[in-house]
């Protein structure tokens, strides 16, 4: 209990008056004499009250130089100084401001109250030095100054203007005299003579020897002085500016703020350990040998005087109360009562305060109990409030009460009296501090917190005081494990700290609130805290940015109102955070699989967008083919950590941004940050608009809309054999209305890894082919849509040039329905099997032939892969994908008229409607077989020499004979075949030993602008000697799967043509082909040829 007084700022005050010479000696340590005594001012003492009751306490004495450092004026100076002390101390402590610095600073500087003596000086130490020119005269002058000031007469004792006048405890204070001697510079003999002279004149004197060291390496026990001085200096300057500003308010202008420079000092550099021991011995000797006996004597004198006065004046007091009883009710509750300094009430208050300060708590409690009744009877409300609070404190300290029977109503009544009757609100706050400390010592943190939360809003006080008290109530709620109340009080305290511009404390409190409520799904509270943090944290913009981004989350629990408010704030945030420089932007968020990096014509396995198995199959074939011609080619294994790229060619980075916001964002000046020792050029995109969530991306179908938006950047490495590291994407982020901008960068990392993307330029030259149709894009991926007729042969000419300085080995792989012819200057090129070379500055022509499917299809992909490599094995690729859609043009069938003679009829029908101007010409009919021996034994012979030309919806029948090939060709030419058609590759049927006929045709289409387009194609016609009866046709047509019926019907039907016995038998593979075509061919009826007998074979 004995420590409660010191924790609550209750310490006896001792004034110090020192001469200039004495201060010069102390100043060698950057200290005043009073400051030098500070760390040694506590000691254990034994004390007896006037009743003889002993007590043992640790007594702390407040030594104060009244000419330089007194108690501050409470209403003008103290709030500003306290605020600056808080600013200086907040970075050094994570505890609340109340415990870390505020309480001590408040008690240290709070000016004495008129109704008590807790801050009155009990003694005065007069200090001189042998360095003074006339020390005795100086000492006499200081003693005279103190006497005049204490008596209230004119005095030349000047105290600082920002301090309250000194208040003296007794009419006869303790006076102590000291001669301070500088051991390294002073004259010892002169100091001793001075000390002797003072003893002769004043009765006693102590000589204190210091400064025996120089630059000593000892702990600095005076470090707290830095904060105290800095807080005082800056606080006084703030208070001065505020006073001047209030005076200049009528003129509309205030003074310009001045910066306050403060230097961090090191103290006690000349005080050796022996010096410090002597200072400590002096202070302890003064307290135990001088101060305590003096106080004990004065308490006995006061007690005797009060007892005699109360005995004599008791009857007069009762008569006065009886006479005034009728007018008491009419007295105003706010009327102040002034007591003379030597009145019984004030003398009793002196005695009670002395007993309290020196640990005689039971004796003090009795006095406060008696005084509170006297002041209540006199309606001296301020004095009554003071004794109420002290009665409550001493009740606990004396052991008269505990946590259960503690007189809490004393404290509450005291606070109510202070609020209603005192003109100084800080008296109320001081009482709050005492009471809170008392409840904490009683082990009642919840009551202490509720006490603060209930009473602080009742008084009109400075925002700083309210903020500190509110924060401490939150701390107390936390000790009581009431964490929700703790969070609420911390938030309120943070709001107040922001008002007084203590953003660091506010940030700490709001962060703790977020930590507490973050996982509890209290969205409204969390949004409010985030919004407040982001708005007010102007000093810590990283926190502001993080909070602004968290407000844009997309949880289902967030309301439209909060989302709108968050969005509005985010825009304002962008407008106000311009000076924050480049920061790591978390918005917009990158799509999870990006960024992707690649160079021109990169190998497919390193590019994530080509994951279709068809492309990989073609690529595997290409690699195998290239490795046979160039052993330096290696099979790539996914994405390497450091990608090898050619120099002076762009490296592309594809980045996707998720469309997750409720409003569009704009990014300006987008460019890649590439780290390298080599030269590099980067693309800068001036402006890019990221759509809002749910907004459709232009150019994409509704079904293909993505949740991300993609944009491609590139940079060009210019130096050979250099590593280039892609660090981030730099940009300026703003809202759609361009209200504000924030510069920053979006970090780029490999997905699922914290490593950066790296590429290294090759030492060797890479070939890069120029592929002309169409001009290739950065992706080297061409998509072409084709609308063809069934069976049409489409030819696409691609020009391949090599403008580089090194040759390229090229291979072309595709699916089965594509064939290739390579020419150079209209001459065939030796392609060395399936690979061919393109020399430097050589141009080749690649003709790609595509045979359209025989049946109607829609958007069927036909893939072509051009892969080429350099001599050192660097691979590039060029992809072409044709999307083929086909429609029926003509239907064909061959019917056998006479099996013995081999007479057949070719039936051809143009299926195009008359609205389309398409003319079909038959060019050649051929007999085909995968077995070349069979094909060489069969010949075709015309029955008549004529052309076959069909207009829209026309049908024609042409008769011919099939016979053993003795002199006839297996082909019938109807017209001359164009030169291009002669170079067409052969599209062989994949069916083993399949027999069929093929009609080569030409389609001539005329559009509305009279433009003529010629198309060529090949139509496959099934084996005509495998025929079906009418009943079989109906059965097969109605049957869902005709394959088994076909096999059964055809297995015995073979040709009996002379010389061709068994040739036209059904092959096993024909069943699959006929199953697909039978339904189409059944629509063409058996031909009726009236002149068939003319050509009959005998």
329 vs 417: CA distance, rounded Å: 17
CA dihedral 43, 44, 45, 49 (to 10 degrees): 110
pLDDT tens digits along 836-852: 889 998 888 888 888 88
Predicted local distance difference test score (pLDDT) of residue 925: 92
Contact status, residue 626 vs residue 835, Cβ threshold 8 Å: yes
593 vs 267: CA distance, rounded Å: 61
More confident residue, 158 or 883: 883
DSSP state of 291: I
The whole-number average pLDDT for the span 777-799 is 79
Confidence of residue 279 (pLDDT cuts 50, 70, 90): very high
How many other CB atoms sit within 10 Å of the CB of residue 886? Answer: 20
CA-derived radius of gyration, the chain: 53
CA distances from 838 to 723, 811, 822, 824, 997 (A): 30, 11, 11, 10, 39
13 has a pLDDT exceeding 90: yes
Kindly report the three-state secondary structure assignment for every residue of 806-828: CCEEEEEEECCCEEEEEEECCEE
Longest C-alpha distance within the chain, in Å? 173
Q: Please give the backbone phi and psi of residue 622, each rounded to the nearest 5 degrees, phi first.
A: -65, -45
Predicted local distance difference test score (pLDDT) of residue 3: 53
b/e 492-513 (16+ beta carbons within 10 angstroms → b): bbbbbbbebebbbbbbbbbbbb
Contacts of 979 (CB under 8 A, 6+ apart): none
- Find the range with the poorest average confidence among 83-92, 825-834, 837-846: 825-834
Q: Please give the backbone phi and psi of residue 15, each rounded to the nearest 5 degrees, phi first.
A: -80, 150
Contacts of 284 (CB under 8 A, 6+ apart): 40, 43
pLDDT tens digits along 488-535: 888 888 888 888 888 888 878 887 887 777 666 665 666 667 766 666
Contact status, residue 1016 vs residue 792, Cβ threshold 8 Å: yes
95 vs 191: CA distance, rounded Å: 48
Contact status, residue 480 vs residue 447, Cβ threshold 8 Å: no
More confident residue, 148 or 460: 148
Contact status, residue 528 vs residue 521, Cβ threshold 8 Å: no
Nearest to 106 by CA among 335, 388, 437, 334: 437
DSSP state of 976: P
The CATH architecture annotation of domain 601-632+764-873 reads Sandwich (2.60)
Nearest to 565 by CA among 532, 517, 519: 532
3-state secondary structure of 264: coil
3-state secondary structure of 884: strand
The whole-number average pLDDT for the span 364-388 is 92
More confident residue, 261 or 935: 935
Cis peptide bond prior to 774, omega within 30° of 0: yes
Q: Give the pair of three-digit tokens for residue 904.
A: 């057949």
3-state secondary structure of 866: strand
Q: Give the pair of three-digit tokens for residue 690.
A: 């990221």
Long-range contact pairs involving 326-331 (C-beta distance under 8 Å, separation at least 24):
328/379, 331/379
862 has a pLDDT exceeding 70: yes
985 vs 605: CA distance, rounded Å: 31
Give CA 210 to chain center in angstroms.
Answer: 58
Predicted local distance difference test score (pLDDT) of residue 1052: 42
Q: Give the pair of three-digit tokens for residue 662.
A: 């409720």
How many other CB atoms sit within 10 Å of the CB of residue 189? Answer: 9
Confidence of residue 767 (pLDDT cuts 50, 70, 90): confident
Q: Which CATH number fits domain 1-71+118-217+275-309: 2.60.40, 1.10.287, 2.40.128, 3.40.50?
A: 3.40.50
781 vs 157: CA distance, rounded Å: 95
Contact status, residue 688 vs residue 670, Cβ threshold 8 Å: yes
How many other CB atoms sit within 10 Å of the CB of residue 568? Answer: 13
What is the chain's mean pLDDT, rounded?
Answer: 78
278 has a pLDDT exceeding 90: yes
pLDDT tens digits along 95-145: 788 888 888 888 888 888 888 999 999 999 999 998 888 999 999 999 999
Cis peptide bond prior to 1091, omega within 30° of 0: no
203 vs 271: CA distance, rounded Å: 29
For residue 746, what is the enclosing H or E element? strand 741-747
Q: Give the pair of three-digit tokens for residue 642.
A: 């450091």
- Report domain extents, the chain: 1-71+118-217+275-309, 75-109+223-249+260-266, 310-539, 601-632+764-873, 888-1095
Tracing tokens 């020419």 back to the chain, one arrives at: 823
The top-level CATH class assigned to 310-539 is: mainly alpha
820 vs 838: CA distance, rounded Å: 16
pLDDT tens digits along 153-182: 766 677 888 888 899 999 999 999 999 999
């Amino acid at each position: 209990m004995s420590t409660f007084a010191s924790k609550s700022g209750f310490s006896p005050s001792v004034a110090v008056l020192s001469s200039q010479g004495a201060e010069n000696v102390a100043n060698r340590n950057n200290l005043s004499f009073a400051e030098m005594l500070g760390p040694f001012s506590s000691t254990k003492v034994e004390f007896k009250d006037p009743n003889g009751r002993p007590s043992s306490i640790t007594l702390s004495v407040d030594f104060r130089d009244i000419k330089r450092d007194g108690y501050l004026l409470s209403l003008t100076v103290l709030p500003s100084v306290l605020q600056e002390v808080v600013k200086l101390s907040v970075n050094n402590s994570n505890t609340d401001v109340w415990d870390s610095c505020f309480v001590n600073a408040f008690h240290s500087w709070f000016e004495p109250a008129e109704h008590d003596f807790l801050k009155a000086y009990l003694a005065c130490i007069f200090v001189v030095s042998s360095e003074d020119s006339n020390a005795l005269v100086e000492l006499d002058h200081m003693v005279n100054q103190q006497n005049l000031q204490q008596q209230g007469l004119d005095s030349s004792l000047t105290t600082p203007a920002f301090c309250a006048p000194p208040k003296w405890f007794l009419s006869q204070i303790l006076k102590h005299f000291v001669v301070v001697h500088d051991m390294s510079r002073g004259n010892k003999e002169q100091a001793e003579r001075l000390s002797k002279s003072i003893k002769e004149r004043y009765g006693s004197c102590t000589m204190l020897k210091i400064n025996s060291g120089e630059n000593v390496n000892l702990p600095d026990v005076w470090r707290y002085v830095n904060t105290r001085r800095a807080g005082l200096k800056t606080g006084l300057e703030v208070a001065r500016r505020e006073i001047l500003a209030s005076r200049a308010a009528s003129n509309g202008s205030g003074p310009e703020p001045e910066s306050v420079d403060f230097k961090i000092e090191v103290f006690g550099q000349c005080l050796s350990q022996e010096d410090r021991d002597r200072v400590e011995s002096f202070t302890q000797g003064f307290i135990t040998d001088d101060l305590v006996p003096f106080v004990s004597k004065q308490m006995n004198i006061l007690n005797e005087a009060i007892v005699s006065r109360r005995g004599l004046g008791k009857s007069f007091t009762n008569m006065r109360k009886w006479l005034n009883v009728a007018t008491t009710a009419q007295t105003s509750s706010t009327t102040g009562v002034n007591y003379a300094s030597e009145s019984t009430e004030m003398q009793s208050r002196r005695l009670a305060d002395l007993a309290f300060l020196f640990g005689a708590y039971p004796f003090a409690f009795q006095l406060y109990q008696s005084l509170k009744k006297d002041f209540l009877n006199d309606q001296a409300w301020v004095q009554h409030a003071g004794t109420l609070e002290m009665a409550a404190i001493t009740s606990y300290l004396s052991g008269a009460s505990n946590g259960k029977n503690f007189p809490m109503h004393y404290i509450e009544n005291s606070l109510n009296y202070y609020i209603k009757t005192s003109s100084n609100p800080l008296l109320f706050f001081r009482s709050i501090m005492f009471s809170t400390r008392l409840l904490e010592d009683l082990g009642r943190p919840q009551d202490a917190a509720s006490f603060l939360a209930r009473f602080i809003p009742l008084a009109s006080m400075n925002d700083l005081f309210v903020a500190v008290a509110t924060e401490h109530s939150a701390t107390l709620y936390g000790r009581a494990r009431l964490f929700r109340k703790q969070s609420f009080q911390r938030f309120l305290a943070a709001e107040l700290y922001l008002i007084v511009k203590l953003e660091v404390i506010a940030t700490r409190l709001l962060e703790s609130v977020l930590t507490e409520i973050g996982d509890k799904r209290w969205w409204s509270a969390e949004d409010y805290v985030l919004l407040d943090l982001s708005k007010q944290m102007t000093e810590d913009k990283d926190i502001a940015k993080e909070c602004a981004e968290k407000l844009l989350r997309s949880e289902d629990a967030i309301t439209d109102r909060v989302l709108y408010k968050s969005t509005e704030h985010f825009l304002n945030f962008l407008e106000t955070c311009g000076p924050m420089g480049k920061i790591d932007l978390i918005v917009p968020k990158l799509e999870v699989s990006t960024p992707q990096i690649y160079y021109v014509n990169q190998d497919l396995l390193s590019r994530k967008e080509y994951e279709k198995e068809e492309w990989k199959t073609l690529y595997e074939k290409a690699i195998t083919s290239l490795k046979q011609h160039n052993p330096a080619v290696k099979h790539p294994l996914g994405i390497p950590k450091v990608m090898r790229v050619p120099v002076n060619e762009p490296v592309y980075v594809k980045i996707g941004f998720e469309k997750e916001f409720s409003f569009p964002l704009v990014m300006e000046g987008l460019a890649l940050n590439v780290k390298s020792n080599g030269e590099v050029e980067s693309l800068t995109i001036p402006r890019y608009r990221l759509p809002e969530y749910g907004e459709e991306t232009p150019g994409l179908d509704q079904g293909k809309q993505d949740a991300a938006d993609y944009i491609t950047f590139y940079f060009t490495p210019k130096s050979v054999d250099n590593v280039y590291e892609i660090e981030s994407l730099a940009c300026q982020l703003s809202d759609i209305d361009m209200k504000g901008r924030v510069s920053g960068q979006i970090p780029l990392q490999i997905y699922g890894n914290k490593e950066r993307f790296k590429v290294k330029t090759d030492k060797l030259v890479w070939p890069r082919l120029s592929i002309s149709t169409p001009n290739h894009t950065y992706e080297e991926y061409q998509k072409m849509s084709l609308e063809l007729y069934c069976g049409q042969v489409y030819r696409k000419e691609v020009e391949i040039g090599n403008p580089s300085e090194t040759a390229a080995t090229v291979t072309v792989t595709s699916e089965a329905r594509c064939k290739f012819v390579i020419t150079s200057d209209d001459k065939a090129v030796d392609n060395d099997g399936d690979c061919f070379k393109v020399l430097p500055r050589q141009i080749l022509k690649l003709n790609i032939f595509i045979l359209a499917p025989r049946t109607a299809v829609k958007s069927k992909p036909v893939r072509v892969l051009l892969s080429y490599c350099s001599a050192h094995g660097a691979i590039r690729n060029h992809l072409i994908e044709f999307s083929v859609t086909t429609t029926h043009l003509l239907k064909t069938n061959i019917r056998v008229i006479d099996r013995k003679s081999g007479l057949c009829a070719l039936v051809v029908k143009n299926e195009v409607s008359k609205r389309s101007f398409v003319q079909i010409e038959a060019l050649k009919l051929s007999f085909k077989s995968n077995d070349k021996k069979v094909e060489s034994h069969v010949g075709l012979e015309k029955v008549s020499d004529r052309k076959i030309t069909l207009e829209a919806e026309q049908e024609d029948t042409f008769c011919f004979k099939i016979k053993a090939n003795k002199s006839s060709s297996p082909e019938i030419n109807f017209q001359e075949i164009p030169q291009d058609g002669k170079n067409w590759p052969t599209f062989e049927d994949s069916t083993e030993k399949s027999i069929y006929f093929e009609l080569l045709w030409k389609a001539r289409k005329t559009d509305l602008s009279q433009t003529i387009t010629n198309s060529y194609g090949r139509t496959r016609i099934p084996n005509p000697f495998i025929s079906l009866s009418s009943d079989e046709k109906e059965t097969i047509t109605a049957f869902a799967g005709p394959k088994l019926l076909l096999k059964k019907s055809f297995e015995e039907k073979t040709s009996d043509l002379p010389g061709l016995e068994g040739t036209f038998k059904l092959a096993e593979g024909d069943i699959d082909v006929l199953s697909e075509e039978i339904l189409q061919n059944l629509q063409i009826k058996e031909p009726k040829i009236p002149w068939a007998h003319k050509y009959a074979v005998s």
